Structure 1
Amino acid sequence: MRLWRARFADGGLPALADRKRTGHPARFTPMQVAEAKALACQLPAKAGIPLSRWSCPELAAELTARGITDAVSPSTVRRWLREDAIKPWQYRSWIFIRDPEFRANAQRVLDLYARTWQGVTLDADEYVLSSDEKTSIQARCRCHPTLAPGQARATRVNHEYGRGGALAYLAAYDVHHAWVFGRTEPRTGIDPFMNLVTQVMSQEPYASAERVFWIVDNGSSHRGQKAANRLTNAFPNAVMVHTPVHASWLNQVEIYFSAVQRKVVSPNDFTDLAQVGNRLRAFEDRYNATAQPFQWKFTTSDLDDLLARLDRHTADHQEESSAGPAT
């Protein structure tokens, strides 16, 4: 404080302004940095540039070609983009919603997760099962034994392997009680799926339950009304509920399958299919001993927000298309 008081006493308010600092002045202005980031957020093809994605060297060359900056290095461009976590060289694929009944079908699933059905709260003896198949789990017999991790060394898995066959893993997950029922089959299909259904519905509390809701996707093993009728004919207290088309992410069993992939299957080093099956069954027991229901947070309000964003995206895309290509 003494320093600032002395400066104020000597020169008044102007003396409190920042004084000139040592060091090299900034070579690029904030406006140039902002324009570089804006360019990185554009698709190259929109500007008539024959690239699918930007790389930092390509961005640096384009900034110079457009006269936005003088010569600039790719590392400088990379540093600018890192400030806002912009990575135009990466991409993620996605599927646009095309199910005309998407909201209605999605809401039915979300309502079941919240223990309601058609606006009525589920009773204690009504259950919700999320089911699907994990296809083609291979037994890759490595040509050399896998080496355990050591100091400064990751687990080492031999690249070469012999094929020991493949099997399908079918599972039904009790959403509100965090319990998994699984089985292995040579392949997927209607019969293997119904084998899983019979395995679950033949035991309590599901056999005598008032209703058991089976949430499934639109895979060929359980697609359409025929599959729903087949289930109800075999077990009158069972109700099949389909997720929307291309919306398996609404099926909670997929979360369990992701754990299976990470903790059981990868890096896929098995001597034969029997070892695969034994490992899966042992993991089921281990999982059921400690599992808690998933903390599912995606609600119907989130669903409405998602659909509203997609509507805006569609409208913007249509406006761009009607405007024609950029010149």
Structure 2
Amino acid sequence: MRARIVLLAARGRSNARIAVEAGVHVDTVRTWRSRFADLGLSGLADRKRPGRPAAFTPIQVAQVKALACQLPAETGAPLSHWSCPELAREAVSRGIATFVSASTVRRWLAQDAIKPWQYRSWIFITDPDFRRKATRVLDLYAGTWQGRPLGSDEYVISADEKTSIQARCRCHPTLAPGQARAMRVNHTYGRGGALAYLAAYDVHRATVFGRTEPRTGIDPFMDLVAQVMRQEPYASAKRVFWVVDNGSSHRGQTAADRLAAAFPNAVLMHTPVHASWLNQVEIYFSVVQRKVVSPNDFTDLAQVGDRLRAFEDRYNATAQPFQWKFTTSDLDNLLARLDRHTADHQEESSLRLTA
């Protein structure tokens, strides 16, 4: 910026015009033109400042940041991840600095938003048919099938099971919230058993059909299908698409054939392996977890079932379809990013093996 001010001045620009072009105040322009006129090129450098000199060099800071960007196992440290105190201790043991505090390390890492104590997990795509399966599901959510809009007598159902909903009877009653006091739930509880909650969600009509069962399996899932398919408008529909994941209750072509044999107008659509996030009923289950199950305080399993059924009625009275925004274009972008990530990971692994 200082050099640019001098160069613009050399072209005959006025101070006001230089200030506009450089994006600085006109007093700043006057300052650096004056220093350059008095001292030449050296006048553009910072003057010596009073106060205590820096305790750490830029190289030391960079070395600590580089250490934070390595896995502890690669350095021989018996840690799963770095913390600021551990990084400070490691920096001293490596001779990077004679002493450095954890707060100083934390300030250095904050400059580049480095947070080695955090981690995220991912999974590589293993389904060779991922794109085709995901595209079919996304097209159904968008109201199309094989390039044609769905008819008024075609429906899309998203179904799955929420397993092991426990009945935890708290040893002391839950206390209602009050002024400046959150609701209080006793930590200790008695176990009252667990049940499975099966739900089918009509994607475009925002209607939920649910049932509770002692456990999951083929028969409970088929009971849920029958509960939906034996009522209108699904019983007389041209086609009802059932979007499910690859759980054992409805896995593979055998499950598709079983569904078609029981209800000829039902079509089973599997999401790709490890892609349950494409199943919209999971969004409904997250609502149930937040609004019905947590905090878990039930006297017995009968109360759990009653509350789930009551919530279904409450939800269906006001529900609107989820605003699903993930499209096939987003899918293509995601897969392209994953392909690049996979290639980089394989290249890094090969370099490690070579080293």
Residue from 300, 304, 310 that aligns with 1:272: 300
Which protein, 1 or 2, shows the higher relative CO under an 8 Å CA cutoff with sep ≥ 6? Answer: 1
Q: 1:150 aligns with which of 178, 200, 217?
A: 178
Q: Which runs of 5+ in 1 are unaligned?
A: none
Q: Quote the Cα distance in structure 2 between the aligned partners of 1:234 and 1:279.
A: 31
Asked whether 1:298 is paired with 2:326, we answer: yes
2:240 is the alignment partner of 1:212: yes
Match of 2:135 among 86, 102, 107: 107
Listed one character per residue, the Cα deviations across residues 125-165 of structure 1 (whole Å, up to 9, x for unaligned) are 21111100001111111111011223443322112212212
* Alignment map for 1:169-318 (pairs within 5 Å): 169-318=197-346
Local SS of the residue matching 2:201: strand
State the one-letter code of the partner of 2:77. Answer: I
Gap change, CA 1:316 and 1:9, over 3 Å in 2: closer
TM-score (norm 2): 0.83
What is the alpha-carbon distance in structure 1 between the residues aligned to residue 35 and residue 213 of structure 2?
87
Give a deviation string over 1:64-116, Cα, whole Å, max 9, x none. Answer: 34444442111221233334443212333333221111111111111111112
Report how far residue 2 of structure 1 moved: 9.7
C-alpha distance in structure 1 between counterparts of 2:270 and 2:29, whole Å = 74
CA deviations over 1:216-271 (Å, ceiling 9, x no partner): 00111111111111111111111100011111111111111011111110111001
Q: Structure 2 CA distance, aligned partners of 1:227 and 1:205? A: 23
Aligned to 2:3: none
Deviation at 1:175, TM superposition (A): 1.2
Return closer, same or farther for 1:313/1:225 CA change in 2, 3 Å cut-off: same
* Whole-angstrom distance in 1 between the partners of 2:149 and 2:26: 70
For 1:115, give the aligned amino acid: G
Cα distance change, pair 295–144 in 1 and its aligned pair in 2 (3 A):
same
**Secondary structure class of the residue paired with 1:324:** helix
SS of the residue 2:186 aligns to: coil
Aligned residue identity for 2:217: G
Q: Is the 8 A contact 1:146 1:155 kept in 2?
A: yes
CA distances 1:183-212 after superposition (whole Å, capped 9, x unpaired): 111111111111111111112221111111
Q: Does 1:135 align with 2:174?
A: no
Cα 1:267–1:5 shift into 2, 3 Å:
closer
Residue 40 of structure 1, CA deviation: 1.8
2: CA distance, partners of 1:160 / 1:89: 31
Matched residue, 2:22 = none
| CA pair 29-177 structure 1, distance change in 2 beyond 3 A | farther
Residue 46 in structure 1 maps to residue 46 in structure 2 = no
Partner Cα distance (2:60, 2:319) in 1: 53
Alpha-carbon RMSD across the aligned residues, in angstroms, is: 2.6
Matched to 1:202, the amino acid is R
CA 1:108–1:86 in structure 2 vs 1: closer, same or farther (change >3 Å)? same
Letter in 1 for 2:234: Y
Residues 149 and 156 in structure 1, CA contact (< 8 A), matched pair in contact too:
yes
Residue of structure 2 in register with 1:122 after alignment: 150
Gaps of 5+ in 2: 1-24
* 1:12-49 CA-partner distances (Å, limit 9, x unpaired): 75699666655544434555444433332221223343
CA distance in 2, matches of 1:239, 1:78: 55
Per the TM alignment, residue 171 of structure 1 is displaced from its structure 2 partner at its CA by 0.5
2:4 alignment partner in structure 1: none
Identity %: 78
Q: Structure 2 CA distance, aligned partners of 1:319 and 1:6?
A: 53
Q: Distance in 2 between matches of 1:106 and 1:288?
A: 27
